[in-house]
Amino acid sequence: MPRSFNIPIIIALSVSFSSMVQASTHTLVERVVSLAPHATEIAFAAGLGDKLIAVSAMSDYPPQVEEIEKVANYQGIKLERIIALQPDLIIAWPSGNPQKELDMLESFGFNIYYSDTKTLDDIADNIEQLSLYSDDPAFGHSQAKQYREQLTSLSEKYQVEQPVRYFYQLSEKPIITVAQGHWPSEVFSFCGGVNIFENSPTAYPQVGIEQVVVAQPEVMFYSDHAMADGGMWQAWEEQLPAVKNKAVWSLQPDWLNRPTPRTLLAIEQVCEHLESVREKR
């Protein structure tokens, strides 16, 4: 997973697409509950923002969502409250919400859509499929189209030729990173980044300073919430190319860690940093 849930769930953290319920035709709903910050943003992009009656804690975008009741956090979901609200649609996050509680909601007959984006393309797919529950599916389809077009433009703008070895730090104590194939690793791959822990057997491995030093990353990234200034690595300046060359940068965590249309902003941010490293070679 951030300013969303705990570290392993930071991501979306995280984030192939699957859903228990997929609308293939226009199925109008009036009362929607979102159980993850990224799902809330996707709901707005799909044209369901005015249907949201409850969302998860840390759902803070767009700004108007802060006034909506909160019924989920990293500890779980408020099962009884959700049942009392009687939503027509629940947008759940299988990587972050307790499956036992979701199974219980399903057993009560609630309509659950599972949003579990793992690729950049999945973001547009989620928007399109959720738009079929809205008053105006054309709106969501236009948002998905715009996202895909912007993604293509970024691909053309940052045509990657030379890979760059990177380290992404999610937290400082303990030091936790992300293995390849787990969100947001695809953002870095899109920009030509090569994960120094790509072969880790766990999704969000805890690593030691020595492991990072041995891997010799050319660039190091961290989320704003993880470290104040990246200063913990200064003592290793002579051993770490990234520190020696001042290629240690902070990334906006919500752009990066939540798989939403704002991921495009994270891509721009990461690609620019990696391009600057290439230019200095």
Q: Is residue 95 part of a domain?
A: yes
Domain finish residue from 108, 143, 178: 143
Q: Is residue 185 part of a domain?
A: yes
Q: Is residue 87 part of a domain?
A: yes
Tokens of 64: 């108007």
Residues 208 and 244 in one domain: yes
Which residue range(s) make up the domain with 57? 7-143
In this prediction, residues 74-94 reach a mean pLDDT of 96
97-119, pLDDT tens digit by residue? 999 999 999 999 999 999 988 89
Q: Is residue 44 part of a domain?
A: yes
In the block, which residue shows the tokens 């990072």? 212
Q: Is residue 148 part of a domain?
A: no
Residues 188 and 245 in one domain: yes
Q: Is residue 51 part of a domain?
A: yes
- β-strands 89-92, 52-56 pairing: unpaired
pLDDT of 23 reads: 55
Residues 124 and 165 in one domain: no
Residues 28 and 107 in one domain: yes
229-240, pLDDT tens digit by residue? 567 888 899 999
19-56, pLDDT tens digit by residue? 444 555 678 999 999 999 999 999 999 999 999 999 99
Domain finish residue from 116, 143, 170: 143
Residues 209 and 251 in one domain: yes
- Mention every residue, 6+ apart, whose C-beta is less than 8 A from residue 159: none
pLDDT of 227 reads: 62
CATH code at position 98: 3.40.50.1980
Residues 123 and 21 in one domain: yes
120-157, pLDDT tens digit by residue? 999 999 999 999 999 999 999 999 999 999 999 999 99
Number of domains forming the structure of the chain: 2
Domain finish residue from 110, 143, 176: 143
The tally of CA atoms less than 13 A away on the side-chain side of residue 233 is: 33
Residues 59 and 181 in one domain: no
Q: Is residue 222 part of a domain?
A: yes
Q: Is residue 1 part of a domain?
A: no
Residues 28 and 100 in one domain: yes
Q: Is residue 91 within 8 Å of 12, Cβ to Cβ?
A: no
Percent of the chain with pLDDT over 70: 89
pLDDT of 20 reads: 42
Residues 77 and 128 in one domain: yes
Residues 187 and 249 in one domain: yes
pTM: 0.88
